[in-house]
Amino acid sequence: MNSRRDFLQKLAASALAMPFLSSYDAFGHADFRLPVSQGPVLRVALMGLGGYASRVAEAMQSCKRAKITGLISGTPGKLQEWGAKYQVPEKSRYNYENFDNIKDNPDIDAVYVITPNALHHDQVIRVAKAGKHAICEKPMALNAKEGQEMVDACANAGVKLLVGYRMHFEPKTLEVVRMRQAGELGKIMFFQGQCGFRIGDPNQWRLDKALAGGGSLMDIGIYAVNGARYMVGEEPVWVTAQETKTDTAKFKEGVDETIQFQLGFPSGAVASCLSTYNMNYLDRFFLNGEKGFAELQPSTGYGPIKGRTNKGELTQPHVTHQTLQMDEMAGIILDNNKPVVPVDGEEGLKDLKIMDAIYAACATGQRQELRG
């Protein structure tokens, strides 16, 4: 009897503990599968039903704490197709002209803005005015001025603004952050970030300055900008940068093909990064400290991420990035959880300020000092 009673007591205690379990601890160690019972579900409207939204939508089918309850698109056929596929009723389908009406829809908590960069600013502000939380793909805006206006609009409306930094939840990435925070790598000396691929269709929006705001830096170079910050664990104080362009027909004025940039940090650590639309096989982070190193390659692709350190191979499990991201963002929005690496609008704004400085350094040939 005693053993049975002890078993039942332990079982009850485990059940009570379940809602308080996190998908991973502060250093990315535990089981990365969310418990089934972990609080309310975040009801999300997807805005911009393109290729990346398709990836997000598919990944969300495995989420425990987030589900698709709304759709926003300028293409009626997509609204109908996606509505049927993801069981979103017509009353929760909107176009770009009338989506402000989400303010009257109790089935939507947040809107994930997955549209071309130039549209983020106005769309996020409209989402905030409708009283809904905003999740915005990166880069958050075209420049720091726009980003600040978005942060202010969401603060004034009393809603959260998160940015789609999926790598901030990736297990191997978090293990490197943990090692650095724990001092296992010693004093950090150097970071290298390489992000590049050969871009295809010359008529796509990513090569249109009016929609993209730039070129490779805005699309993939932002991974190196952001990665340098969370890998080194400091905010840079200066930037130098150089632009190279070999195809002026494809990469028109204001659309960068290749940018090399360097960052300096208060501790004396430096970063050397490359962003390009003209070279394949560039997806690597390398962090060097006095006691050790960490390398991720691939470092920011959809996975699985692979990595090693001076202690050996990283073996944390792969979970679809967008599934993990959306479940964790549900916890941030609904439970005020604090991620190891921030994903809020202030984080997005810091990257925009650095990218503004990178473009200024390319234009002037001069080192740019960064201030908070």
Is the pLDDT at 337 greater than 60, yes or no?
Answer: yes
* Residues 183, 104 within the same domain: no
Q: What is the mean pLDDT of the chain?
A: 92
> Considering its fold, how many domains does the chain have in total?
2
Would you give the end-to-end CA distance of the chain in angstroms?
Answer: 65
Q: How confident is the model over 243-254, as pLDDT tens digits?
A: 999 999 999 999
> Among residues 165, 197, 218, which one ends one of the domains?
165
Q: What is the CATH number of the domain that holds 58?
A: 3.40.50.720
pLDDT of 2 over the 70 cut = no
The predicted pLDDT at position 367 comes to 98
Work out the average pLDDT over 193-209.
Answer: 97
pLDDT at residue 182, rounded to an integer = 98
Q: How confident is the model at residue 372 (pLDDT cuts 50, 70, 90)?
A: low
pLDDT one-digit tens code per residue, 131-149: 999 999 999 999 999 999 9
130 with 204, same domain: the answer is no
Q: Which tens digits make up the pLDDT trace of 339-360?
A: 999 999 999 999 999 999 999 9
137 and 103 both lie in a single domain: yes
Say whether both 191 and 228 belong to one domain: yes
Is residue 21 domain-resident? no
Report if residue 72 sits inside a domain.
yes
Same domain, 115 and 258: no
Which among 349, 342, 346, 302 has a CA at the least distance from the CA of 177?
A: 342
Name the amino acid, one letter, at 65.
Answer: R
pLDDT single digits (tens) 17-50: 333 333 444 334 333 444 434 689 999 999 999 9
Least confident window among 30-44, 69-83, 120-134, 216-230: 30-44
Give which of 301, 348, 306 is closest to 121, Cα–Cα.
348
SS3 301: coil
Residues 241 and 300 in one domain: yes
DSSP state of 45: E
Provide the residue count of the chain: 372
The model's confidence at residue 122, banded by pLDDT at 50, 70 and 90, is: very high
Residue 148, CA distances (Å) to 151, 209, 359 in order? 5, 21, 18
Task: Establish if 304 belongs to a structural domain.
Answer: yes
Q: Which active-site residues does the annotation give?
A: 138, 223
Strand runs labelled E in 104-257? 110-113, 133-136, 161-163, 188-196, 238-244
* Residue 311 CB neighbours (<10 A): 12
For 110, 282, 324, the CA distances from 317, given in Å and listed in that order, are: 29, 23, 12
Residue 311 lies in a domain: yes
Whether 99 and 241 map to the same domain: the answer is no
Place of tokens 């191997």: 172
CA distance linking residue 348 with residue 120, whole number of Å: 12
The answer as to whether 131 is a domain residue is yes
Does residue 203 share a domain with residue 135?
no
Residue 7 has pLDDT above 90, yes or no: no
Question: Can you give the residue range of the structural domain that contains 172?
Answer: 167-318+344-369
Q: Are 148 and 234 members of one domain?
A: no
**pLDDT for the residue numbered 213:** 98
Backbone dihedral region of 53: left (phi > 0), alpha (psi from -120 to 50 degrees) or beta? Answer: alpha
Whether the pLDDT of residue 8 is over 60: the answer is no
Token code pair at residue 363: 């234009």
> In terms of domains, do 46 and 161 share one?
yes
Which range has the worst mean pLDDT, 18-32, 87-101, 215-229, 290-304? Answer: 18-32
**Could you tell me if 43 and 70 are in contact, meaning their C-beta atoms sit under 8 angstroms apart?**
yes
Residue 245 has φ and ψ, to the nearest 5°, of -135, 120
Q: How many CB atoms lie within 10 A of CB 64?
A: 18
Of the three residues 131, 165, 199, the one that is the final residue of a domain is 165
Q: Which residue has the tokens 């980003």?
A: 147
Q: Which residue has the tokens 């049927």?
A: 84
- The phi, psi pair for 14, rounded to 5°, reads -65, -40
Q: Which amino acid is at 243?
A: E
Chain segment 49-77, per-residue pLDDT in tens: 999 999 999 999 999 999 999 999 999 99
Give the domain CATH number at 217. Answer: 3.30.360.10
Q: Distance between CA atoms of 267 and 265, rounded to whole angstroms?
A: 6
pLDDT band at 157 (very low <50, low <70, confident <90, very high): very high
